[in-house]
Amino acid sequence: MASTSPVSPLSAVTGRLFSNVSMGLKLFVLTVLTLILSLFAIWINGLVEERTDRKGDVVKEISSSVGGAQTLLGPTLLIPYSIPAGEKTPEQHEVYFLSATDANATVKIQTQERRRSLFRVPVFQADAEMHGVFDTSHVNANLPQNAQIAWKDAEIVVGMSDARGAQSDAVAEFDGAVHTLQPSHIWPRMALSSEKDGKSVALFGTGISNAMEHGAVTPVTVRMRLSGAQHIALLAYGRSTRVTQVGDWPSPGFDGSFAPVSREITPQGFRATWNIPFIARGVAAEGIAGNISGLDGTAMGVSLVEVADPYQSVTRALKYAPLFLGVIFLSYFVFEATTGRRVHVAQYVLVGVAQLIFYLLLLSFAEHIGFSGGFALGGGATVLLLALNAGWIFESRVQTLRALGVFGTLYSMIYLLLRLEDNALMVGAIGSFLTVAAAMYFTRNMDWFGKVKSLGDTEPRVLRVGEL
């Protein structure tokens, strides 16, 4: 005679307790379980933030070696002057700035990605050609009374926020001569700052010609080659400024104080043009040099945006974790209600843990193959596991296929929700509404205070010990 293993008193009591729980109470328990498991998503989110911080450190490390985010100032005329001492005032030394009457610049950008471990950082090499026309005929009339101009010390200057990115000497062409720019001796660093990293702008200049000193209208062209990372911007350095930036990065972001008046983006690169009139610049065309600090609010910039940042996408996915867990539990609950087979709470816990592990799979795969590939691989494995688990619980191949279809559709909708931008909230709300409506329909014949009235279930079914 075959022997049977004894059932422990605790297991017997637990089994009887769980078998007597009404379906309505179980649904409440599952709601609480969803909230508890959602708290573990906070830990996973902390892991994502840690990886994001690590990427930020790598970005800073690589950026510091190539120049970082760059902000450029086109040719500007700086003129030192002094005011003799008076009876009650000491001698004063100031610098007068004069903007170009007309400014036109072109920046051509070539990009590549630097890799460090799992992280990629977009860097660039840029060739900037900046033109400006200067009219010095009215400078004397606008200076303070008794001002004495030191024309011999006046400079044509340009600026860049990180000189470590200079790839060659910057040169200025005017009056038929080519001049190599050197660190400005009038004002080495101007009170302008890069909008991305707050660096002050380093100035490089060269002395002016005699023609400028005598009030000539002089066109100036400055050429410079530089490197940087992630972002490059040009300030509105003329009374009216026209800037064109051309690059081979397929997903640029246009930022700064002004939007481009025209833009063209293709898989091969981009072309954008800004046109800033004097009335929009908001900074005087000339005056005491300290007033030029207002130009840092006139940046026309391009950022090298990563289209598929895996950490940003995983963070968005984690925001939907409570909804995701709730819908999965609700789907299993509907399976339970429509089959008449009770499911133990421990089995729901395992389903929830599988969902949390999915986010870990998503994060680890996305770092290597991108978010879409990571979601397909991690989501596919999780859907298959949930479908097989449904078959094991309900002892039916039909339920396996049913769960495979339901969870496959659910994960596809979640992916679509994460890929949407403007319509994500609407799609998520509609999907949640339809899920709840389906649950209401399939549980319409349920006796929430007792057993499930499933199709064909006319006789009470004896529950086994440990079932819930």
pLDDT in tens, 141-150: 778 778 888 8
Is 15 within the bounds of a domain?
no
Distance CA(188)–CA(326), nearest Å, equals 61
3-state secondary structure the chain: CCCCCCCCHHHHHHHHHHHCCCHHHHHHHHHHHHHHHHHHHHHHHHHHHHHHHHHHHHHHHHHHHHCCCEEEEEEEEEEEEEECCCCCCCCEEEEEEECECEEEEEEEEEEEEEEECCEEEEEEEEEEEEEEEEECCCHHHHCCCCCEECHHHCEEEEEECCHHHECCCCEEEECCEEEECEECCCCCEEEEECCCCCCEEEEEEEECCHHHHCCCEEEEEEEEEEEEECEEEECCCECCEEEEEEECCCCEEEEECCCCCEEEEECCEEEEEEEECHHHHCCCCEEEHHHHHHHHHCCEEEEECCCCCHHHHHHHHHHCHHHHHHHHHHHHHHHHHHHCCCCCHHHHHHHHHHHHHHHHHHHHHHHHHHHHHHHHHHHHHHHHHHHHHHHHHHCCHHHHHHHHHHHHHHHHHHHHHHHCCCCHHHHHHHHHHHHHHHHHHHCCCCCCCCCCCCCCCCCCCCCCCCCC
CB-facing half-sphere around the CA of 10: CA atoms within 13 A: 0
Question: Is 236 a residue whose pLDDT tops 90?
Answer: yes
pLDDT value for 3:
45
Question: Is 422 a residue whose pLDDT tops 60?
Answer: no
Is 415 within the bounds of a domain?
yes
Neighbours of 315 (CB within 10 A): 16
Structure-token pair, residue 137: 């005929």
pLDDT value for 416:
79
What's at 128, amino acid-wise?
A: A
Residue for token pair 């400078």: 139
Last residue of a domain, one of 257, 289, 307: 307
Q: 154 and 102: one domain?
A: yes
Confidence of residue 459 (pLDDT cuts 50, 70, 90): very low
At residue 289, φ and ψ (nearest 5 deg) are -60, -30
pLDDT value for 465:
41
Contact predicate 310/47, CB 8 Å: no
Question: Is 181 a residue whose pLDDT tops 90?
Answer: yes
Q: 302 and 322: one domain?
A: no
Q: 233 and 247: one domain?
A: yes
Distance CA(228)–CA(441), nearest Å, equals 59
Q: 277 and 394: one domain?
A: no
Q: 191 and 252: one domain?
A: yes
Question: Is 30 a residue whose pLDDT tops 90?
Answer: no
Q: 167 and 234: one domain?
A: yes
What's at 346, amino acid-wise?
A: A
Is 205 within the bounds of a domain?
yes
Is 450 within the bounds of a domain?
no
In degrees, rounded to 5, the angle at the alpha carbon of residue 172 between the alpha carbons of residues 122 and 223 is 25
Instruction: Write out the residue range of the structural domain in which residue 200 sits.
Output: 69-307
Q: 124 and 204: one domain?
A: yes
Last residue of a domain, one of 284, 307, 330: 307
pLDDT value for 14:
42
Distance CA(192)–CA(43), nearest Å, equals 41
Q: 402 and 360: one domain?
A: yes
Q: Show Cβ contacts of residue 2 under 8 Å, excluding neighbours closer than 6 positions.
A: none
Neighbours of 448 (CB within 10 A): 13
Question: Is 425 a residue whose pLDDT tops 90?
Answer: no
Confidence of residue 18 (pLDDT cuts 50, 70, 90): very low
What integer is the mean pLDDT of 75-85? 89
Total number of domains constituting the chain: 2
Q: 77 and 225: one domain?
A: yes
Is 157 within the bounds of a domain?
yes
Confidence of residue 266 (pLDDT cuts 50, 70, 90): very high
What integer is the mean pLDDT of 41-52? 81
Distance CA(294)–CA(284), nearest Å, equals 9
Q: 198 and 254: one domain?
A: yes
Is 350 within the bounds of a domain?
yes
What integer is the mean pLDDT of 334-354? 81
Confidence of residue 219 (pLDDT cuts 50, 70, 90): very high
Question: Is 110 a residue whose pLDDT tops 90?
Answer: yes
Contact predicate 171/179, CB 8 Å: yes
Question: Is 115 a residue whose pLDDT tops 70?
Answer: yes
Neighbours of 43 (CB within 10 A): 9
Q: How far is CA 3 from CA 6, 7, 29, 295, in A?
A: 9, 12, 37, 90
Contact predicate 327/432, CB 8 Å: yes
The radius of gyration computed from the CA coordinates of the chain, to the nearest angstrom, equals 34
User: If phi over 0 gives left and psi between -120 and 50 gives alpha, with beta otherwise, what is residue 64?
Assistant: alpha
- Determine which of 156-170, 279-293, 430-444 has the lowest per-residue pLDDT on average: 430-444
pLDDT value for 313:
80
What is the residue-averaged pLDDT of the chain? Answer: 80
Question: Is 8 a residue whose pLDDT tops 70?
Answer: no
Is 59 within the bounds of a domain?
no
Strand pairing of 200-207 and 182-183? Answer: antiparallel
Question: Is 127 a residue whose pLDDT tops 90?
Answer: yes
pLDDT value for 193:
53
Question: Is 458 a residue whose pLDDT tops 50?
Answer: no
Last residue of a domain, one of 274, 307, 340: 307
What integer is the mean pLDDT of 193-215? 76
Is 63 within the bounds of a domain?
no
Contact predicate 187/156, CB 8 Å: no
Structure-token pair, residue 195: 């909008």
Q: 38 and 74: one domain?
A: no
pLDDT value for 230:
86
> Which pTM value belongs to this model?
0.67
Name the residue with higher pLDDT: 438 or 227.
227
What integer is the mean pLDDT of 303-321? 78
Q: 301 and 320: one domain?
A: no
- Determine which of 51-55, 257-261, 384-388 has the lowest per-residue pLDDT on average: 51-55
Which class for 198: exposed (0-12), middle (13-18), buried (19 or more C-beta within 10 A)? exposed
